């Protein structure tokens, strides 16, 4: 790591002459139980995100065409979100391959948007369950046809939406940690490549 005035490096945390290496345990993060490097983990996260967005798109399409319980504009928004996810994932894959951190940043921003949307849906679901069916109609009536949703999924369907939203948001947070770790790895590698003469050494306390 680069020396910084904001952080004091403890003498027992670094070897006498620290040099950057891809296989440093720091880049095998706890998010994968220290078993997977952040770079392949970011590829895995991108694939999972595309699969999740595709699954939501297919589900929304079924609710619209088969169940007749989803408005058209909501399905179109989901398709647009999926297209954005695929585009930012493709940028990220290229950025990881060519080691360009700026191409990974849009994916992090997109995942933040996903987390925000999912948490909004989770919050709305909790409020709807707390205040009864009349508020459920008011909150969800803009997005879905409430009678059809109750017909197909029962009276506790807002609870199901809340559970799915929380689970998907947690998955997005996990993916963001993996992708952020891969981006940090690229930045660290670029720093040490551009400044190969910089070494971090142990600093021993001066005798008084």
62 within domain boundaries: yes
Specify the pLDDT at position 7: 42
Q: Would you state the structure tokens that stand for residue 20, as one six-digit string?
A: 């950057």
- Number of domains the chain is built from: 1
208 within domain boundaries: no
207 within domain boundaries: no
20 within domain boundaries: no
- Which residues is 200 bridged to in the sheet? 18
Mean pLDDT, the chain, as a whole number? Answer: 83
Tens of pLDDT, residues 20-50: 778 788 889 888 998 999 999 999 999 999 9
Residue 191, SS3 per DSSP: helix
Q: Would you state the structure tokens that stand for residue 181, as one six-digit string?
A: 């770790």
7 within domain boundaries: no
Q: What is the rounded CA–CA span in Å between residue 52 and residue 35?
A: 23
6 within domain boundaries: no
127 within domain boundaries: yes
Q: What is the rounded CA–CA span in Å between residue 127 and residue 26?
A: 41
124 phi and psi angles, rounded to 5 deg: -65, -40
How would you write the pLDDT of the chain (208 residues) with one tens digit per residue? 444 444 444 444 545 555 677 878 888 988 899 899 999 999 999 999 999 999 999 999 998 888 888 888 989 999 999 999 999 999 999 999 999 999 999 999 999 999 999 999 899 888 887 777 777 777 777 778 888 888 878 778 888 889 999 999 999 999 999 999 999 999 988 887 776 555 544 444 555 5
182 within domain boundaries: yes
Its domain, for residue 162, covers 36-191
Specify the pLDDT at position 69: 84
Specify the pLDDT at position 190: 86
Q: Are 158 and 136 in contact (CB under 8 A)?
A: yes
């Amino acid at each position: 790591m680069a020396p910084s005035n904001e952080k004091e490096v403890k003498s027992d945390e670094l070897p006498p002459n620290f040099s950057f290496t891809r296989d440093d345990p720091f880049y095998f993060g706890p998010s994968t139980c220290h078993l997977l490097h952040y770079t392949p983990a970011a590829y895995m996260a991108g694939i999972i995100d595309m699969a999740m967005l595709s699954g939501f798109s297919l589900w929304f399409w079924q609710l619209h065409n088969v169940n007749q319980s989803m408005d058209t504009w909501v399905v179109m928004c989901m398709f647009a979100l999926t297209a954005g996810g695929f585009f930012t994932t493709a940028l990220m894959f290229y950025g990881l391959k060519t080691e360009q951190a700026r191409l990974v940043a849009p994916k992090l921003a997109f995942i933040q948007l996903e987390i925000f949307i999912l948490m909004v849906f989770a919050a709305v679901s909790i409020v709807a369950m707390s205040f009864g069916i009349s508020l459920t109609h008011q909150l969800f009536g803009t997005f879905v046809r409430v009678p059809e949703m109750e017909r197909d999924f029962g009276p506790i369907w807002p609870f199901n939406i809340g559970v799915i939203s929380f689970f998907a948001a947690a998955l997005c947070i996990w993916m963001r940690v993996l992708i952020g770790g891969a981006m940090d790895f690229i930045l660290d590698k670029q720093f040490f490549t551009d400044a190969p003469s910089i070494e971090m050494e142990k600093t021993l306390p001066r005798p008084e």
